[in-house]
Amino acid sequence: MTRQNNLSIRVLSVVLCTVLIAAMALSMTACTDNNAPAGAVTFTFQVADGNGKQTDFTITTEKATVGEALLDEGLIKGEDGPYGLYVKEVNGITADYDVDGTYWAFYVNGEMAPTGVDSTAVEDGAVYAFKVEK
């Protein structure tokens, strides 16, 4: 082989390696992108039990209301009442006014919610919370 052929092969090898490295880097970047479905929103959900212990969750959902999203995640349970869903259990913790005078209070961005959990629209980046209160 001539010196020019060797040089051409080396240059071609370098170019090919560069292209392969770039392709691998792009495919790795695509794998680490958020895999949330289009239209999904993410919010923080906080649960404060009767002893003040707080547990935080990050929820990504396409559901329209907070109640739908939390029911879908299995984080709340309750029963339908005249004012909507009456939440009695959150994250496996029961608060039942009829039994011990406690209830789950629903908060949106640190303020007592003006609407029930099943009629509160999901907002991207919002913080929703349930706290045991008497």
Structure tokens at 7: 């040089």
Burial annotation 30-61 (CB, 10 A radius, 16+ → b, else e): eeeeeeeeeeebebebebbbeeeeeeeeebeb
pLDDT of residue 95: 97
Helices (H) and strands (E) in the chain, counts: 3, 8
Q: Pairing relation of β-strands 111-112 and 54-61?
A: unpaired
Q: Which residues contact 14 (CB under 8 A, 6 or more apart)?
A: none
Instruction: Give per-residue pLDDT as tens, 6-40.
Output: 666 665 555 444 544 555 544 444 443 456 678 89
Instruction: Give per-residue pLDDT as tens, 56-66.
Output: 999 999 999 99
Instruction: Give per-residue pLDDT as tens, 69-104.
Output: 999 999 999 999 999 999 999 999 999 999 999 999
3-class secondary-structure state, position 10: helix
Where would I find the beta strands (DSSP E) of 36-118? 41-48, 54-61, 76-81, 84-90, 93-94, 103-108, 111-112
The alpha carbons of the chain give a radius of gyration, in whole angstroms, of 26
Burial environment of residue 13 by CB neighbours within 10 A (0 to 12, 13 to 18, 19 or more) = exposed
Give the whole-angstrom CA distance, residue 76 versus residue 91. Answer: 6
Q: What is the pLDDT averaged over residues 102-118?
A: 98
pTM, 2 dp: 0.73
pLDDT of residue 37: 77
The alpha carbon of 98 is separated from its chain's Cα centroid by a whole number of angstroms, namely: 32
